[in-house]
Structures are given as structure tokens and as C-alpha cells.
Amino acid sequence: MASQPWRTGTVIRIEDETYNTKRFFIRVNELESFDFKPGQFVTFDLPIHEHVNKRWRSYSIASWPDGTNVFELLIVLLEDGAGTNYLFNEVTVGSELTLRGPQGVFTLPAHIEKDLFFICTGTGIAPFRSMLNYIQLHNIPHKNLYLIFGCRTKKDLLYHEEMKALAKRLENFTYMPTLSREGWDGEEGHTGYVHSLYEEICKKNNEACETLEHLQPASFYLCGWKAMIDDARKKITALGYDRKSIHLELYG
């Protein structure tokens, strides 16, 4: 596949999502429509280093294809991150950014014939927000969809109200936020880490299976930090699923 050309994008809006996370809306002026597949990412060439390979930063697209030339990114400020510090402190509405994309193969299958588990932490929710809204808006046939989203506290939740509303509109979609360092104070949610949630669902679904070859078909999409992904891969294979059922996008 030929690499995408570098283009210029203009920041047309910036919104605070949480205390340390912003939503950047970027317009690609030279295109009438910025076409991409849900789950893909863009790469910026930021003026943060003299060496090219140390200037590139990639971010998953948080919006979904809508026929326009605007897309959204969800970015968290990393204390020691040269890229995010530049974006948070130097970029304003009207700023121009050099970008390349869309890129990546972390995308939905052509036909959704299995249960899909979207497992993420932090801003790893971005590609799954794109996928889920795309499925809902285009009435794509699907099996069970699970979004298992882990973060530390309620103030770290991203797109929380939107995902709760989507769960009411999208058939067979279950939104499962889980907090590792805080309770919910009466609001519906889970505590602990993401792993126990998909393990419980899979074990319940597969109780009647006589052999590993007859497990309920499922695919697992993982997006987040390396430690979470490494643990998830081990636990999913321990459930009896092979590595081909696991798809991942690594952050950091």
C-alpha cells in the first residue's frame, strides 16, 4: 500500500474533555472529504526535534467518517511528552499542523460475524468510539458488542455520557466502564481492572462448551498501554482463544 502524502491540517476547535485531556478538531483544507476507516490513525510531524524520526507522533481518530474534511482526535497530556506538551501549550484554533494519514489496519472486519470485545484504557477508547458510532449510524449487522473501558477515577472517564446514551440506541451493545481507584457513589459501573470483566463474560458464555474448539466465537480488540495489552493477551489465550482472535493498537 502506498504511503499517504503529508498534508496540512487546520485546527478549527479545541475542547476540554477532562482535566488533562483535550479534543482537537482538525480540517484538511485540500480535501473535500477526509476518508478513513474507523480505527485508523494520523501521524503529525511536529516541530519538537531536529531529527525527523523524533518529531512524529501518531493518534487514533476518535470521530467517524461523515463525508466532511474534519476529524477529531482525543489527546491526553503526558507530563514528559514533548508532543503533547506542544499540542497543549502551543497549538490554538487556527494553528496549522503537518499530518499524514489515514494509516493503520486496526479496523472492523468486513462482516461482523462474532462477538466483539473492545478493551481499552485511557485515550485508547478513541478508535472504539469511532467504530461503535459507525456501526450504529450505518445499521451494520453485528453480534454482541462490549466496550470495556478502564481508568483510575471518575474524573478520568472519557465520552462517558455519550457511551451511556449510545448503549440505549445501539442494539446488543454493552458499555462497561470500570474504575481501579474509586467507587461509583450510586452510579452504575464496575470497580477493578478490565480483565475480570471480559473473563467473566467469556466464561459464562462458554460454560456449555464441551471443548475449546467450540467456544462462542469472539474477537478481541485491545487499545491502550503495553502493560494492559500484555496482560490481556495472556488472559484471552488462557480462556482458549487463539492469537488470531486478538487485534491490538499499542500506545506509548
Digit-by-digit pLDDT tens for the chain (252 residues) are 457 899 999 999 999 999 999 999 999 999 999 999 999 999 999 999 989 888 999 999 999 999 999 999 999 999 889 999 999 999 999 999 999 999 999 999 999 999 999 999 999 999 999 999 999 999 999 999 999 999 999 999 999 999 999 999 999 999 999 999 988 887 788 999 999 999 999 988 887 665 556 788 999 999 998 899 999 999 999 999 999 999 998 775
- Residue at 162: amino acid letter: E
pLDDT at 134: 97
pLDDT at 252: 56
Q: What is the CATH number of domain 6-103?
A: 2.40.30.10
pLDDT at 52: 85
Delimiting residues of CATH 2.40.30.10 domain(s) in the chain: 6-103
Torsions phi, psi of 146, nearest 5? -125, 125
DSSP-derived pairing of the beta strands 115-121 and 21-28: unpaired
pLDDT at 211: 55
Give the Å distances, CA to CA, from 158 to 11, 115, 152, 220, 228. 21, 23, 12, 21, 18
Q: What angle separates helix 194-205 from helix 226-238, to the nearest 10 degrees?
A: 20
Q: How far is Cα 61 from Cα 50, in angstroms, rounded to an integer?
A: 26
CATH 3.90.480.20 correct for 115-251: no
pLDDT at 2: 57
Specify the pTM: 0.94
pLDDT at 189: 85
Are 249 and 223 within 8 A, CB to CB?
A: yes
Q: How far is Cα 120 from Cα 247, in angstroms, rounded to an integer?
A: 12
pLDDT at 3: 74
